[in-house]
Amino acid sequence: MKRSWISAAVALMLAPVTAFAIDTVKRRDGTETSGEVKKISRTEVVVFQKVGSKEIPIPANEVVEVDWDAEPAEFGVARGHEAAGNFPLAVEQLTEAADKAQGLDAKIKADINFYLARAAARAALADPTQAADAITKLKAFTAAERENFRFYEAQELLAEVALRAKDAPAADTAFNSLTQAPWTDTKMLGKIGLARVLLASDNLAGAKMGFDEVAAMETKTPAETSRKLQAMLGQATCLLKQTQPAEALKIIDQVIEQASIDETRTLAEAYVRQGDCLAASGTGAKDAILAYLHVDVIPALAEEREFHAEALYQLSKLWGAVTQPARAAEAAAKLQQLYPNSPWAQKKD
**For residue 13, what pLDDT band results from cuts at 50, 70 and 90?**
very low
pLDDT at 321: 86
Instruction: Name the more confident of 31 and 346.
Output: 31
| 217 burial level (CB within 10 Å; 0-12, 13-18, 19+) | middle
Give the DSSP letter of residue 18: P
**For residue 149, what pLDDT band results from cuts at 50, 70 and 90?**
very high
Give the DSSP letter of residue 74: H
Cβ atoms within 10 Å of 206's Cβ, excluding its own = 16
Q: Quick one: which H or E segment has residue 305?
A: helix 305-321
Would the CA dihedral through 308, 311, 316, 320 be positive or negative?
negative
**For residue 2, what pLDDT band results from cuts at 50, 70 and 90?**
very low
**For residue 172, what pLDDT band results from cuts at 50, 70 and 90?**
very high
What pTM value is reported for the model?
0.86
Report whether 24 contacts 32 (CB < 8 A). Answer: yes
158-172, 204-218, 289-303, range with the lowest pLDDT: 289-303
**Does residue 14 carry a pLDDT above 70?**
no
**Does residue 116 carry a pLDDT above 50?**
yes
Report whether 154 contacts 117 (CB < 8 A). Answer: yes
pLDDT at 341: 84
Q: What separation in angstroms does the CA of 13 have from each of 1, 6, 21?
A: 19, 11, 21
Please list, residue by residue across 138-176, b when 16 or more beta carbons sit within 10 angstroms of its beta carbon and e when fewer do. Answer: bbebbeebeebbbbbbbbbbbbbbbbbbebeebbbebbb
**For residue 299, what pLDDT band results from cuts at 50, 70 and 90?**
low
What is the residue type of 209? M
Would the CA dihedral through 180, 305, 260, 315 be positive or negative?
negative
pLDDT at 83: 87
Residue from 186, 273, 267 nearest 238 by CA: 273
Would the CA dihedral through 99, 103, 114, 262 be positive or negative?
negative
pLDDT at 303: 61
Calculate mean pLDDT across residues 105-121: 95
pLDDT at 52: 82
Q: pLDDT by residue (tens digit) across 248-282?
A: 999 999 999 999 988 889 999 999 999 999 999 87
69-83, 121-135, 148-162, 213-227, range with the lowest pLDDT: 121-135
pLDDT at 296: 81
**For residue 127, what pLDDT band results from cuts at 50, 70 and 90?**
confident
Average pLDDT, the chain: 90
pLDDT at 67: 96
Q: pLDDT by residue (tens digit) across 69-112?
A: 999 999 999 999 998 888 999 999 999 999 988 888 999 999 99
Q: How many angstroms separate the CA atoms of 50 and 56, rounded?
A: 11
Q: How many angstroms separate the CA atoms of 32 and 63, rounded?
A: 9
Report whether 148 contacts 110 (CB < 8 A). Answer: yes
Cβ atoms within 10 Å of 219's Cβ, excluding its own = 16
Give the DSSP letter of residue 309: H
pLDDT at 1: 44
What 3 state SS string does 193-243 have? HHHHHHHHCCCHHHHHHHHHHHHCCCCCCHHHHHHHHHHHHHHHHHHHHCC
What is the residue type of 265? R
pLDDT at 16: 45
Instruction: Name the more confident of 193 and 17.
Output: 193
Q: pLDDT by residue (tens digit) across 15-72?
A: 444 456 799 999 998 999 999 999 999 999 999 998 888 999 999 999 999 999 999 9
**Does residue 301 carry a pLDDT above 70?**
no
Q: How many angstroms separate the CA atoms of 195 and 205, rounded?
A: 10
**Does residue 228 carry a pLDDT above 90?**
yes
pLDDT at 175: 98
